[in-house]
Structure 1
Amino acid sequence: MNLVLVVLSCPQFTRPNLLDRPFVAILRDERQDQGDGAFGYVFEAANGIRESRVGYPGSKGQTNMQESYRFPLDDGTFAKVRFVADEFGFRAESPLLPTPHPLPAHAVAQIRVAEEQRRRGIQF
């Protein structure tokens, strides 16, 4: 009997019903595949969500991509993100992304010294 009481007293979790969410019309969904690794697509929904991406073969066998997307925030504005992924790595730009703290003065001075030494051919 105790086991049954313990089981019955456990919190009950339910999955959200996706049908309870508001319907959002898809305004645009365009896709292209060139067959050689190059591709592009654009997606846009009535609630302001928009995404576009292009890709093309890179020089080292990777797929290079450029993408931008946006989505609505609770305050009515839109979050915007742009990124590039290529031979030089992944680089994202957005006002939403955190930025590093400025370097302290002594670190900036050390970097300048190292750059000067490198310029003069000094190696360690």
Structure 2
Amino acid sequence: MKLIVLACLAAVAVAAKLEDRVVTLLRDDRVANEDGTFSYAVQADNGINTAVEGVVGSAGQINHQGSYTYTLEDGTQAVVTYIANENGFQPQSSILPTPHPLPAHVFELLEIAERQRAAGIVFN
């Protein structure tokens, strides 16, 4: 019980600091259609900018396509574009982490494994 009370007090303290910041919306355009499709674009004076469009997907779901932009600590703009559809959420941006490149020997091992698979060699 004490942990819950402590967590609530911490949340209130954090929220109190965030309330001091006032953000003005410069643009707020929204369209919601009866078939579930939609679009919206929101722009704030703090550099946050987002635009999303929702269209009907192949299985009747609503697929999303859009982007959002915000200002990084160094003053540059971070832009993330994305698609969310039957294949999941697929973001693209220069700020997203990327895996380390594979060493050259790994490509050679993958080629060997493919040749063995094609020859019918199976390891149990």
Cα distance in structure 2, aligned partners of 1:66 and 1:121: 43
Decide whether aligned partners of structure 1 residues 63 and 105 sit closer, same or farther in structure 2, where only a CA change above 3 A counts: same
Structure 1 residues 58-103: Cα deviation after superposition (integer angstroms, max 9, x where no partner): 1123321112001112221111111111122221111111110111
Unaligned runs of 5+ in 1: 1-11
Match of 1:102? 101
Over 6 Å off, 4+ runs: none
Structure 1 residues 15-63: Cα deviation after superposition (integer angstroms, max 9, x where no partner): 2255422x22211101111211211100001222100111111112332
Decide whether aligned partners of structure 1 residues 30 and 109 sit closer, same or farther in structure 2, where only a CA change above 3 A counts: same
More helix, by proportion: 2
Amino acid aligned to 2:107 = V
Amino acid aligned to 1:49 = I
Match of 1:41? 40
For the residue of structure 1 that corresponds to 2:59, the secondary structure is: coil
Amino acid aligned to 1:108 = F
Cα distance in structure 1, aligned partners of 2:121 and 2:59: 30
Unaligned runs of 5+ in 2: 1-8
Cα distance in structure 2, aligned partners of 1:65 and 1:52: 10
Match of 1:60? 59
Q: TM-score, normalised by structure 2?
A: 0.73
Decide whether aligned partners of structure 1 residues 83 and 17 sit closer, same or farther in structure 2, where only a CA change above 3 A counts: same
The structure with more radius of gyration: 1
1:1-124 maps to which residues of 2 (within 5 A)?
A: 15=13, 16-21=16-21, 23-113=22-112
| Number of equivalences | 111
Cα distance in structure 1, aligned partners of 2:98 and 2:86: 23
